[in-house]
Every structure is written in structure tokens, then in C-alpha cells.
Amino acid sequence: RGTFDILPEEQKYWERIITIVNQILTAYGFLAIDTPIFENALLFMRGTGPFTDVVQKEMYTFRTRGGDYLALRPEFTPSIVRAYIEHGMKSWPQPVKLYSIGPVFRHEKPQAGRYRQFHQFNLEIIGEGGALNDVLLIQLVFLILKKLGIKGFNLQVNSIGCSQCRPDYRKILIDYYRKQRKKLCRHCRERLRLNPLRLLDCKEEKCRQLANNAPQVIDYLCEECHGHFKEVLESLDELDIPYILNSHLVRGLDYYTKTVFEFRLEGQNPIELAGGGRYDGLIEILGGKSTPAAGIAGGIERVISVLKSQDIKVSQESLPRIFLVQLGELSRRRSLKLFEELRNKGLKIAEALSKDSIKSQLKVADKLGV
């Protein structure tokens, strides 16, 4: 459950998305990187964060016969940071801009748009802390969604502060919620202990009402975080990228600092298409030197579901212009050679060499629209 085959007729959607991601990201100087699908489970426990749902409930972990404790990657970011540290990318010109496309695994309850093996396109900018990097990441995903022809999506942004200012806010938030503990849902009572910021994006109606009156993180940012966020918003204005300030946006992963963002499509069932943010503490957590970084990932299945629901045509492969019909054993053998000669000339051709009669071959040609 929660996995699926990508059938031949679906491939055009994948090709379209992957082509556009490749084109736009390479044009902006991003380098492709692929990392293993499984890694030491500790990488994600530390990196994604011990208090996240992803690590606590959703990670596929297993012990090998040799006794190694491994996990199927539930996201790219810790793997990319590991690669950055392991290959000494600190000595490359900074920032290092990397992107990946591939499967990730989370043991979630399967439902529409929520799978256990799904695919992300993932961008990271490591080695520079300026607000413009956050904006570039947002702009690139904005361009990808636009280029795909998706309509009606929005961008939500927030800042959740840094190691300087967040602890104070956290305390104020806990104080606020403790007084209302009885009104919280079961999950939120537990979150209050482990991960209080997540109370802000609980979907339960009673928790939402409490969140609406909760102290807002924006009022408690330190000077640096405040200035950083202001620069992000001003740059988005300059680029004419519309956004919604969402003080309840906290994201589900532990490593974020300062700016966080999500692209969503609202509607009866809101769809989160992409999400990310700055993570200035993660490289150090994973054993590197303190290094600022930011990134974002989009869900390919979700993008495809929107392409379909908005009836967006993805370019069909061009039809063959020539159909090679053969009759008899000798001509069938000759056909293989002829086929290759024509293909070599750049002509798009089709055949049905396994068929004998002209009638059945013409039927195939008809079906292919030659």
C-alpha cells in the first residue's frame, strides 16, 4: 500500500516535470547530485530530527545481517549535507547549489496525494546565509510551477527565528498553551512537551482557534532574524512573486531556522506542492563546521495530480511519420536494416515486424496515428 507503478501512459508527466526541473535549475547554476536511497538511520534521526513525525512514526528502518542499522531516506536534506561534509565541499566556491530528483520513503497512512514511496525534486544552497538565497529557492520553484502551467497556487512564508530568539518565543508559547491545556487535542498535549511550535499548525478545529490567539513568532524575532525576513519579503515584492504571511507556518522538520515557506493549492482538499526553509544549524549537527544553508523540495506525484485535475496537456511525443510494412520472410529481414537506416536519418518510424498480413500491419499503423 502507498506505492504504485508508473505505467507507460504516465511517463509523459514524469518526463515533462524532470525536463523542466533540469532546464531551470542548470540554467541557475545548480549541480545535480545523487545519493544512496538507504543510509545509516542515525543520519536522519539526528538530521531530520528526533522529535519529528517523520523520525518517530514514518521512517522505514531495518537492521542488516551484519548488524548495521539503516533507513530508507525519508527526505534528501540530511543526505545532501552528509555529502557536503564528506566530500569537503566547504572548499568549493560557496555557496554550493545542489539538486536531486528521486524517491523518498515515509510510512504514512496512504490516501490521495500521500504515498509511502513518493518522489521529490530537491534543491539545496549550502554555504551562504544571505536572504537572497531563500528568495532564489522560492523563485525557482515558482518558475517551475509556472512553466508547468499550474494555476492558482499560492506561496506562504513565515520566519521561525534562530537559536538566539526561538527559545524565548518557545517559552512564551508553552506558557500560553499550558493555561489552555485542557482544550487541546490529544496529539497537541504531547506536542506541547516535545515540539510546541507544531501546535500552531494542528488541523483540529479547537486547536486552530487557540492557535489564532497564540503569541506570534514574528513579534519575538531577534534583530538579525527580523532584518533577514524583511529582506526576503522585500525581494519577493521586487520579483513580483505574491505571498501570504502565515504566522502558523512552522513546517514538520526540526532543522529549520529563520525563513520557512510552502507552495500550496487551496481548495476543498488543500495540496502542499512544495516546502522548505533555511537550516543554519544542520551542518554542525551532522558534524561539519557551522555553515548556513537553505533548501526546498517539491512532491512530484502531487504536481502530476494537479496537472491532471487542471487538464494541462503535457506535450505528446511526436507521432511516427513512416510505417514500415513488410510482406514475406525476405522482406521482413530486409526491413530491420531499412528501419535502422531511416532511424539513423532522424526519421521517426514504426513497425509491426511480428505481424504477417498487410491488413494487420495497417491496423497497427492506424492505431499509432501514422
The residues that touch ligand HAM, with contacts defined as CB under 6 A, are: 75-77, 106, 108, 113-115, 118, 120, 122, 124, 252-253, 272-277, 279, 295-299, 301-302
3 state SS of 147: helix
Using CA atoms, how far apart are residues 336 and 353, in angstroms rounded to an integer?
Answer: 8
3 state SS of 287: coil
Least separation in angstroms between residue 118's CB and ligand HAM is: 4
Least separation in angstroms between residue 113's CB and ligand HAM is: 6
Least separation in angstroms between residue 137's CB and ligand HAM is: 8
Cell triple for residue 192?
Answer: 506541547
The number of residues making up the chain comes to: 370
Nearer to ligand HAM, 59 or 324 (CB): 59
Least separation in angstroms between residue 97's CB and ligand HAM is: 12
Using CA atoms, how far apart are residues 31 and 320, in angstroms rounded to an integer?
Answer: 35
297 neighbors 256 (Cβ within 8 angstroms): no
DSSP string for 311-355 = TPPPPPPPPPSEEE---SHHHHHHHHHHHHHHHHTT--EEE-TT-
A 10 A CB-CB count for 140 gives: 22
Nearer to ligand HAM, 242 or 270 (CB): 270
Residue at grid coordinates 526519421: 347
Nearer to ligand HAM, 137 or 165 (CB): 137
The candidate with the shortest Cα–Cα distance to 33, out of 97, 90, 119, 127, is 97
Least separation in angstroms between residue 157's CB and ligand HAM is: 14
Cell triple for residue 156?
Answer: 506562504
Nearer to ligand HAM, 52 or 361 (CB): 52
Least separation in angstroms between residue 58's CB and ligand HAM is: 8
Query: Residue 60 is which amino acid?
Result: Y
Nearer to ligand HAM, 220 or 279 (CB): 279
A 10 A CB-CB count for 274 gives: 26
Nearer to ligand HAM, 142 or 279 (CB): 279
247 neighbors 161 (Cβ within 8 angstroms): no
Least separation in angstroms between residue 104's CB and ligand HAM is: 7
The rounded Cα 354 to chain-centroid distance in angstroms is: 43
Nearer to ligand HAM, 293 or 324 (CB): 293
Least separation in angstroms between residue 199's CB and ligand HAM is: 18
Nearer to ligand HAM, 166 or 251 (CB): 251
Using CA atoms, how far apart are residues 324 and 205, in angstroms rounded to an integer?
Answer: 64
Strands 153-159 and 244-245, by their bridges, are parallel
Nearer to ligand HAM, 29 or 328 (CB): 29
Residue 76 sits at φ, ψ, to 5 deg, of -90, -35
Least separation in angstroms between residue 64's CB and ligand HAM is: 25
